[in-house]
Structure formats: structure tokens, C-alpha cells
Amino acid sequence: MAARVDITQARNYVKRKMEQYAVEYIRRAVRQAAQHAKDNHPYQDRTGDLTRSIQSVPTSTGAYLSARAPYAHFVEWGTRHAKPYPFLRPALEYVVKLLRNKRGLSGATFEKT
């Protein structure tokens, strides 16, 4: 006697699980980028406000990297009178480089923990 398997349900289950793992992987990558930005910024943060404002913000489809200090964009991009001190872009480039080199992300795994 052969068992009947509904391939549509199985396919949908696998698709949902893959999407969940991908979202979690993206969130971990962005968290690592935020930590890299905090640890390796090229500017002198006299008050610590800018460093404290760097954060990973989770969303339903992943996460984004943010610096909430009101002057963060001036530091990142510079002004007519001040040179830029990029800190978010290099952090994201660092994580992309890790992924491209297949070194992976620290703590990133697809297994359940």
C-alpha cells in the first residue's frame, strides 16, 4: 500500500522555513554590521551619542542599519565644510565581504539552537 503525499503542502512548508531562515540570517548580518560600525568608526565621538545611536532595526523581511543621532548623516556623508567619516557603509561592506568570502557570520547558523 502506497502512502499519498501532498507535495503542495510540503513545498509551502519548505518555502516558509527557508524564508524564516533567510530573514533571521539577514537580521544577524545587520546586527554584526551595527557592532562593526560601533567598534570601528573613524570619527571622534566625544559624547558617545552617535555610537550609542547605531542600531540594527528588525523588520518583517529582515533588518536595516540605522544611526538615530540627528547629525549622523552629516558624519557619514560630510558637509561643505566638514569631510565625511563614513561608518555605516564600511560596516555593511565588511559584512558583505564576510559573506562573499564564505567565512560566514559569527553565530549565524541555519540549525535550530
The pLDDT confidence band at residue 113, using thresholds 50, 70 and 90, is: very low
**The residue type at 73:** H
pLDDT 10s digits, 53-79: 999 999 998 899 999 999 999 999 999
CA distance 39 to 112: 29
3-state helix, strand, coil in the chain (%, to 5): 50, 10, 40
Per-residue pLDDT band for 112 (boundaries 50, 70, 90) equals very low
What's the whole-model pTM score? 0.76
63: β partners: 58
Look at residue 90 and tell me whether its pLDDT is greater than 70: yes
Q: Per-residue pLDDT for 22 more than 70?
A: yes
The H or E element spanning position 11 is helix 7-39
What is the residue extent of each domain of the chain? Answer: 7-100
